[in-house]
C-alpha cells in the first residue's frame, strides 16, 4: 500500500506568554525624534533598549533613533550608527540590552518585515513597537508586535506580525505631561498648581467610580470581585490617619513653601535682568 505525505501549513509563534511594558520616556523620545525628522522622511525608526524578565515580560526603558532610507521595495539602515549608539548607551547603562525596534505610524508596513529581520539577528524574538505620533482624536495608538513564522512543511514562507499585550504605566507627573503631548495644539504649559488641579480632578473622578462600584455591590447589582475588594482595602489602609485640621495645615504649609520658592525665583530673574541691562549700559560710550 503506497503512503503519501502531505505538507501542512503551520504557524510557529515566537512565544505564547510574551508581553511588553513601556516607560513614558520611550514615548517622549519617539515623539521628539519624529518632530526632528528630516523633511523627506515619512516615519522614524529606532532601537528599543531594556530588559527581559524571567516570566517573559519585556521592559522597554530607553530608545534611540536610527537613520534610514526607505523605498517601496527596500530599506537601508545606518548599521554603523546603530552600533555606535548601542555602545554609548551600554557605557552608561550596561544592563540595558536590545529588546526590539520601533516605528512611527498606525501599524505594520511593507518594509517592517525587512527591518524586523535585521533586528532578529541582533536579538532573539525582538519586539516591534508602533506609535501613532499624529494622536488622532487626542488618543495615542501604541501597539507591540512579535513575529510569527508561517511555514509549509520544512519551508518557511513568510513572517506575520502578531500583537501582544502592552502596558503603559506612568506616575501622575508623567501622566500630566503625556496628556499635554496628546494635545496637538497647546497655548502654554500648565504650571505646577494647574497640574496639581488636573491630578486632583482625576483623583476625584476615580474615587467617584469606586463609590459607585461599592454601592452597586452592596445593592446586589454587581457581582463582587475579591481582587477589586482587596485593592480597595489596601488603598484605604495606606491612607495615613490624620485629622482634617492637621491635613489642612500640612497642605497649607507645603503650598506656602512652594509660593515662597516661586517668589524667590522671580526676584532672582528680575535681579539678573537688571544686572544685564546695567552692564550693557555701562559698556556704551
For residue 285, is pLDDT > 70? no
Say if pTM beats, i.e. exceeds, 0.95.
no
Q: What is the mean pLDDT of residues 186-200?
A: 70
**pLDDT at residue number 277:** 83
**pLDDT at residue number 154:** 65
Alpha carbon 188 to its chain's center: 23
For residue 180, is pLDDT > 80? no
150 falls in which pLDDT band (50, 70, 90)? low
**pLDDT at residue number 275:** 85
Q: How far apart are CA 180 and CA 174, in angstroms?
A: 10
HEC per residue, 129-155 = EEECCCCHHHCCCEEEEEEEEEEECCE
**pLDDT at residue number 11:** 47
Domain boundaries, the chain: 3-174, 190-239, 242-285
**pLDDT at residue number 197:** 80
- Give the orientation angle of helix 24-35 with respect to helix 172-182, to 10 degrees: 30
**pLDDT at residue number 47:** 92
For residue 229, is pLDDT > 50? yes
Q: What is the mean pLDDT of residues 139-146?
A: 82
262 falls in which pLDDT band (50, 70, 90)? confident
2 falls in which pLDDT band (50, 70, 90)? very low
Q: Record the cell numbers describing residue 47, joined without a space.
A: 532601537
**pLDDT at residue number 49:** 93
**pLDDT at residue number 260:** 87
* Residue 22, beta-bridge partner list: 60, 168
Positive or negative: CA dihedral 56, 173, 267, 269: positive
34 falls in which pLDDT band (50, 70, 90)? confident
**How are the residues of the chain apportioned to helix, strand and coil, as percentages rounded to the nearest 5?**
45, 25, 30
- Phi-psi domain of 104 (left: phi exceeds 0; alpha: psi -120 through 50; beta: other): beta
Which residue has better confidence, 261 or 4? 261
Q: What is the mean pLDDT of residues 134-160?
A: 71
Domain 3-174 has CATH 3.30.9.10: no
Amino acid at each position: 500500500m503506497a503512503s503519501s505525505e502531505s505538507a501542512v501549513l503551520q504557524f510557529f509563534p515566537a512565544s505564547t506568554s510574551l508581553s511588553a511594558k513601556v516607560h513614558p520616556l520611550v514615548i517622549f523620545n519617539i515623539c521628539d525624534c519624529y518632530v526632528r525628522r528630516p523633511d523627506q522622511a515619512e516615519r522614524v525608526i529606532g532601537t528599543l533598549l531594556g530588559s527581559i524578565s524571567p516570566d517573559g515580560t519585556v521592559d522597554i526603558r530607553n530608545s534611540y533613533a536610527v537613520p534610514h532610507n526607505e523605498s517601496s521595495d527596500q530599506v537601508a539602515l545606518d548599521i554603523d550608527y546603530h552600533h555606535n549608539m548601542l555602545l554609548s548607551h551600554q557605557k552608561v547603562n550596561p544592563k540595558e540590552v536590545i529588546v526590539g525596534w520601533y516605528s512611527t505610524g498606525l501599524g505594520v508596513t511593507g518594509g517592517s518585515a525587512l527591518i524586523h529581520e535585521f533586528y532578529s539577528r541582533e536579538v532573539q524574538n525582538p519586539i516591534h513597537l508602533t506609535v501613532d505620533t499624529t494622536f488622532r482624536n487626542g488618543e495615542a495608538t501604541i501597539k507591540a508586535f512579535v513575529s510569527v513564522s508561517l511555514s509549509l512543511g520544512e519551508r518557511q514562507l513568510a513572517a506575520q506580525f502578531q500583537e501582544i499585550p502592552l502596558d503603559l504605566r506612568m506616575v501622575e507627573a508623567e501622566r500630566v505631561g503625556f496628556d499635554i503631548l496628546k494635545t496637538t495644539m497647546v497655548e502654554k504649559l500648565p504650571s505646577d498648581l494647574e497640574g496639581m488641579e488636573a491630578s486632583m480632578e482625576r483623583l476625584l473622578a476615580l474615587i467617584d467610580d469606586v463609590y459607585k462600584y461599592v454601592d452597586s455591590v452592596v445593592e446586589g447589582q454587581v457581582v463582587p470581585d475579591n481582587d477589586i475588594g482587596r485593592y480597595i482595602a489596601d488603598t484605604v489602609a495606606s491612607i495615613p490617619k490624620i485629622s482634617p485640621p492637621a491635613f489642612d495645615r500640612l497642605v497649607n504649609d507645603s503650598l506656602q513653601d512652594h509660593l515662597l520658592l516661586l517668589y524667590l525665583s522671580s526676584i532672582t530673574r528680575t535681579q539678573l535682568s537688571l544686572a544685564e541691562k546695567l552692564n550693557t549700559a555701562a559698556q556704551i560710550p
